[in-house]
Amino acid sequence: MDMRAVNSLNYEEFIDLFGNVVEKCPQIAATVWSKRPFMTTVDLETSIFELIDSQPQSGKKGILRCIPDLAGRELQKGTLTAESMQEQSQAGLTSLSPEERVNLQHLNSLYKLKFGFPFVICARLNDKSKIAQELAARIQNQPEQELHNAIEEVKKICHLRLQNIHFASTVRPS
Ligand code: GUN
């Protein structure tokens, strides 16, 4: 990514480009825009992570509550964001057997009931069986530990989404 070009974006353009690096939280990009100039993509990522970490518990839970369930209602309805669709599809969640879907949806409901936010895992770094396994394991955690785990997964998702933007903007067809 050409950081000079990024640093010259007005806030509308910046939000267009980075508004979904944290799922459905354009306010993150809108806030971080004020931290320009960024020297590198890592610098931009650090600003985003610092902003996330600086949120109170309620703010972190708010970030998580904007994220759709894996293999959930929005996937069935076809209303996922392009990024989430790609991630869920890559993890094999668009081709679940009926039994696998019911199992995941059941565990997702139990998880949400216990923690008050959806189960978040970096889908691109896991496949459907690992996701189901992690969900069953993480549901046993204490709430504070699980809030921490979920936010760390948000950062992994964000990192990969930023890399995608970087790749799309630097690789040009010859
Ligand atoms: N991991 C990567 N993308 C997503 C998503 O859209 N939802 C959840 N819950 N986890 C994810």
Contacts of 57 (CB under 8 A, 6+ apart): 147
* Ligand 1 site, residue 72, Cβ cutoff 6 A: no
Whether the predicted pLDDT of 12 surpasses 80: yes
How confident is the model at residue 174, as a pLDDT?
47
Reported as a single tens digit per residue, the pLDDT across 73-130 is 999 999 999 999 999 999 999 999 999 999 999 999 999 999 999 999 999 999 999 9
Cα distance between residue 130 and residue 165, in whole Å:
26
| Residue 77 phi, psi (nearest 5) | -80, -10
Can you give the residue ranges of every domain in the chain? Answer: 69-149
Return the structure tokens found at 5: 């070009």
Q: Can you tell me which residue has the tokens 């353009």?
A: 13
48 CA from centroid of ligand 1 (Å): 18
Whether the predicted pLDDT of 171 surpasses 90: no
Cα distance between residue 18 and residue 130, in whole Å:
29
Return the structure tokens found at 80: 């996922």
65 CA from centroid of ligand 1 (Å): 11
CATH number of 69-149: 1.10.3330.10
* Ligand 1 site, residue 45, Cβ cutoff 6 A: no
Q: Which of these, 40, 41, 17, 39, lies nearest to 30 by C-alpha position?
A: 17
Instruction: Please give the share of the chain, as a percent, with pLDDT higher than 90.
Output: 94
Residue type, 47: S
How confident is the model at residue 169, as a pLDDT?
73
CB of 57 within 8 A of CB of 113? no
Query: In this structure, which residue's CA is closest to atom 10 in ligand 1?
Result: 120
How confident is the model at residue 168, as a pLDDT?
74
Say how many C-beta atoms besides its own lie within 10 A of residue 126's C-beta. Answer: 19
Mean residue pLDDT across the chain:
95
* Ligand 1 site, residue 120, Cβ cutoff 6 A: yes
Whether the predicted pLDDT of 159 surpasses 90: yes
